[in-house]
Amino acid sequence: MSAAPEHAPTMAQATLADRIGPYMPVLLVPLLALAGFLAIMNPASWLTLTVSGLAMGMMIFIMASGLTLVFGLMDVINFGHGAFVSVGAFVGITVLMALGQMTAAPSLLLNLGAVLLAVIGAILATGAMGWAFEKVIVAPVYGHHLKQILVTMGGLIVVEQLIIVLWGPEEIYFNRPEALKGAVTFAGAAIEKYRLVAVAVGLAVFAAMRWVLRRTKIGLIVRAGVENGEMVEALGYRLKLVFVGVFIAGSALAGLGGVMWALYQEVITAHMGNHAMILIFIVVIIGGLGSVEGCFIGALLVGLLQNYIAFIEPKAALISNIALMVTILMWRPMGMIPVVKAK
Amino acid sequence: MSDAILTLDNVYTNIAQYHILQGVDLVVPRGAVTMLLGRNGVGKTTTLRSIIGHWRAHQGCILFDGEDITKLPTPAIARLGLGFVPEDMGIFADLTVEENMQLAAVSGPINSARLDWIFTAFPPLKTFWKSDAGTLSGGQKQMLSIARAMVEERKLYLIDEPTKGLAPAIISTMAKALKDLKQQGSSVLLVEQNFAVAKALGDSANVMDDGRMIWSGEMAELGRDAALQERLMGLSMEAH
């Protein structure tokens, strides 16, 4: 019998590609911005488009972040998520219109106070609606994807019709509060004030979500539950309660996103949430199911790309996001930062 | 037996159309290590999963510390004082070692004395405390899985094949940690394929076959009787 070969492990340095690999999704945003700059070659236009793209991305992120958690933690495909966007927008804008004196006053504080009240109204309404939606529509179909698609789409249609019954079938136009109208000029570029507000709110929501998920026990439970819900329950945590909490939070975030989106468009329709769902799904899929960070990066990519392409080649803007999704999924089939394994 | 921490009485569990457990009777004494032995596929893991509530016993009764837990949800069973180490370890790969341990400390912050004891038993966990659990080796993941159950004092530990697929040196570490647990007077129900480890740790043994308990007695008695091992499990001590 021959002697066993001597154990001589070797250490090899990882290649540059291996070392950069995990950070590539984060690098994509500045790389896309750089590519946009090279393609546009006009600093002022590029800055305007970049801020516009970031603002759009932030609003999509706010609307999509709840859906990715619901997808990841609960394995629920909620096609009804757009209903919360629409309801949030209608409730928020109704509150805002009722506070006409505050929004028309030339006071930043009063204007922001009105927006804050509108946001609170939207969050409360969509949070409560999320609780009812989970109990009545989603709970009976846990674990059945086809049924989930059917009943949540049905739920979306019912909610849209209820909006039409309550607010009428016409589009509702409105004006932003005085302080959020107009633009500021920076380095020769005109930047809408509201877009700066949207970027700030988006960053605040992202920071708050990261803090909750990374620094609190409930965040630990949610992150662990996305990965292995059965084991979380075996540790003694009532994951079904967490499910309901996440669904309510996700719905409330969609409501907040609805108000933000409405203020961006200055018009609301019963179908606005449904229309936003295409972008929301693209962001959730390319980000990686269950990943808030992936969702954030995906939303920024979608927002920036759509704005750059619309400026460079308007006819290609319609397909730019689908092309982005195809490209990213060819590179990373599970999305940029996947959290959930294929189920 | 009055001093039983866990009793299974005529438990039947089905998984889809398969009848896996077919009338399991089991008594786990308090303060002892009870081995659950048997060939692959005889229902050992299903027994543990039925106890913790991952799969539901559709007939029979499971009593834990005097309380009927047969129909309780898994979180409620766990909070009664059951620590579970599943066969696949159930590690949260995207959480750090520290976060895995914090999550397992259900009743509050981790007790520092207990953490010191865990670090002594499993030194790599201290080294990789801030690392993602997914980056650990197989043996280190198994250490984390057991440490997670040990981070708080439990009334009963359910441990499913802790030495499966591990190198001999890691098996020794694992066996020593489980021996520590035993010396503290903990109650343990341990599924183990490594007969040498089972013999070293077990106070009593229960052998399963075809979804039923076919033998119960002292582990020492089973360890001494090669013919009995051969008859019950198709193995002999010479093979170990």
User: What tokens were used for A243?
Assistant: 């499910």
Is B105 exposed, middle or buried, given 0-12, 13-18 or 19+ CB atoms closer than 10 A?
Answer: middle
Q: For the CA atoms of chain A, what is the radius of gyration?
A: 22
- Is there a contact between B78 and A234 if contact means CB atoms under 8 Å apart? yes
CATH T-level fold of A44-331 = ABC transporter involved in vitamin B12 uptake, BtuC (1.10.3470)
Which pLDDT band, with edges at 50, 70 and 90, does B238 fall under?
very low
pLDDT of B236 higher than 90? no
Residues in chain B with CB shorter than 8 Å from the CB of A217 are 102-103
| Domains in chain A: boundaries | 44-331
- Is there a contact between B78 and A224 if contact means CB atoms under 8 Å apart? no
Among the partner-chain residues A230, A232, A236, the one whose CB lies closest to the CB of B79 is A236
Which pLDDT band, with edges at 50, 70 and 90, does B240 fall under?
very low
Q: What is the pTM of this model?
A: 0.83
- Count of helix runs (H) and strand runs (E) in chain B: 10, 10
**pLDDT digits 0-9 by tens, B165-190:** 888 888 888 888 998 888 888 999 99
Which pLDDT band, with edges at 50, 70 and 90, does B205 fall under?
very high
Q: CB of B74 within 8 Å of any CB in chain A? A: yes
Q: Of B107 and B239, which is predicted with more confidence?
A: B107
**pLDDT digits 0-9 by tens, A33-81:** 999 999 998 999 999 999 999 999 999 999 999 899 888 777 888 999 9
pLDDT of B87 higher than 80? yes
Q: Is A197 helix (H, G, I), strand (E, B) or coil?
A: helix
- In the block, residue with structure tokens 């945590």: A237
How far apart, in Å, do the first and last CA atoms of chain B sit?
Answer: 33
pLDDT of B237 higher than 60? no
Structural contact between residues B193 and B187, judged by C-beta atoms closer than 8 angstroms: no
Q: CB of B95 within 8 Å of any CB in chain A? A: yes
Among the partner-chain residues B73, B78, B92, the one whose CB lies closest to the CB of A224 is B92
Structural contact between residues B199 and B28, judged by C-beta atoms closer than 8 angstroms: no
Task: Please enumerate in sequence order all residues whose Cβ is within 8 A of that of A316, keeping only pairs 6 or more positions apart, or say none.
Answer: A309
Which pLDDT band, with edges at 50, 70 and 90, does A1 fall under?
very low
- Is there a contact between A221 and B103 if contact means CB atoms under 8 Å apart? yes
Task: Please enumerate in sequence order all residues whose Cβ is within 8 A of that of A334, keeping only pairs 6 or more positions apart, or say none.
Answer: A288, A289, A342
DSSP A138: I
Among the partner-chain residues A220, A236, A238, the one whose CB lies closest to the CB of B102 is A220
**Cα of A216 to nearest chain B Cα, Å:** 10
**Predicted pLDDT of residue B73:** 96
**Predicted pLDDT of residue B1:** 44
Among the partner-chain residues B52, B93, B99, the one whose CB lies closest to the CB of A220 is B99
Which pLDDT band, with edges at 50, 70 and 90, does A106 fall under?
confident
pLDDT of A289 higher than 90? no
- Is there a contact between A232 and B102 if contact means CB atoms under 8 Å apart? no
DSSP B111: P
H/E stretch holding B138: helix B138-150
**Predicted pLDDT of residue A310:** 94
- Is there a contact between B92 and A228 if contact means CB atoms under 8 Å apart? yes
- Is there a contact between A228 and B95 if contact means CB atoms under 8 Å apart? no
pLDDT of A340 higher than 70? no
- Residues A297-319, mean pLDDT to the nearest whole number: 93
Residues in chain B with CB shorter than 8 Å from the CB of A224 are 92, 95, 103
A13-27, A117-131, A218-232: least confident range? A13-27
Across chain B, mean pLDDT equals 91
> Which residue from B6, B3, B21, B25 is spatially nearest to B63, judged by alpha carbons?
B6
Share of chain A above pLDDT 70, in %: 95
Q: How far apart are CA A237 and CA A161, in angstroms?
A: 38
- Is there a contact between A233 and B86 if contact means CB atoms under 8 Å apart? no
Which pLDDT band, with edges at 50, 70 and 90, does A6 fall under?
low
- Residues B95-101, mean pLDDT to the nearest whole number: 96
Q: How far apart are CA A323 and CA A58, in angstroms?
A: 20
Among the partner-chain residues A217, A220, A231, the one whose CB lies closest to the CB of B90 is A231
Which pLDDT band, with edges at 50, 70 and 90, does B232 fall under?
confident
Q: CB of B167 within 8 Å of any CB in chain A? A: no
Share of chain B above pLDDT 70, in %: 97
A112-121, B29-38, B171-180: least confident range? B171-180
Which pLDDT band, with edges at 50, 70 and 90, does A341 fall under?
low
- Residues A6-22, mean pLDDT to the nearest whole number: 68
pLDDT of B9 higher than 50? yes
- Residues A245-249, mean pLDDT to the nearest whole number: 93
> Which residue from A212, A272, A277, A221 is spatially nearest to A244, judged by alpha carbons?
A221
H/E stretch holding A331: helix A317-331
**Cα of B76 to nearest chain A Cα, Å:** 6
- Residues B109-131, mean pLDDT to the nearest whole number: 94
H/E stretch holding A285: helix A272-287
Q: What residue ranges define each of the domains in chain B, with the CATH number in brackets?
A: 1-81+156-161+186-240 (3.40.50.300)
Strand partners, B191: B36, B160
Which pLDDT band, with edges at 50, 70 and 90, does A343 fall under?
very low
Across chain A, mean pLDDT equals 90
For chains A and B, count residue pairs whose Cβ atoms are closer than 8 Å.
53
- Is there a contact between B84 and A239 if contact means CB atoms under 8 Å apart? no
Q: CB of B78 within 8 Å of any CB in chain A? A: yes
Residues in chain B with CB shorter than 8 Å from the CB of A221 are 103
**pLDDT digits 0-9 by tens, A143-200:** 888 999 999 999 999 999 999 999 999 999 999 999 888 889 888 888 999 999 999 9
- Residues A102-109, mean pLDDT to the nearest whole number: 89
